[in-house]
A and B are shown apart, each in its own frame.
Chain A
Amino acid sequence: MPHGIGRIKIRLPRTIHKGQVIDVKTLIIHPMETGFRKDKATKRKVPAFYIDEVSVYYGGTLISRAKWTMAVSTNPFMSFYVKADKEAPLKIVWKDIKGGVYEKTVQVKPQ
Chain B
Amino acid sequence: MSLLELDGVKVHFPIKRGVLFDRTVGHVYAVDGVSLKVEAGQTYGLVGESGCGKTTLGRSVLRLVDITEGSVVLDGTDLAKLPGEELRRFRRRLQMVFQDPLGSLNPRQNIESILSEGMVAHGIGKNQEERREKIKSILDKVGLPSNALSRYPHEFSGGQRQRIGIARALVLEPDVIICDEPVSALDVSVQAQVINLLDELQEELGLTYVVIAHDLAVVRHISDTIGVMYLGSLVEEAPSDALYAEPKHPYTKALMSAVPVPDPEVEDKRERILLTGDLPSPANPPSGCRFHTRCPWAQAQRCSTERPELRDVGGGHRVACHFAEEIAAGTVKRTAGEVVSATREGVEDAPVSEELAAAKVPEQAGPPEQESTKAEAVGTAAKVEKADKAVEAAEQAEKLVKAEKPDEPAEQDVEPAEQDVEPADKAT
**A and B physically associate:** no
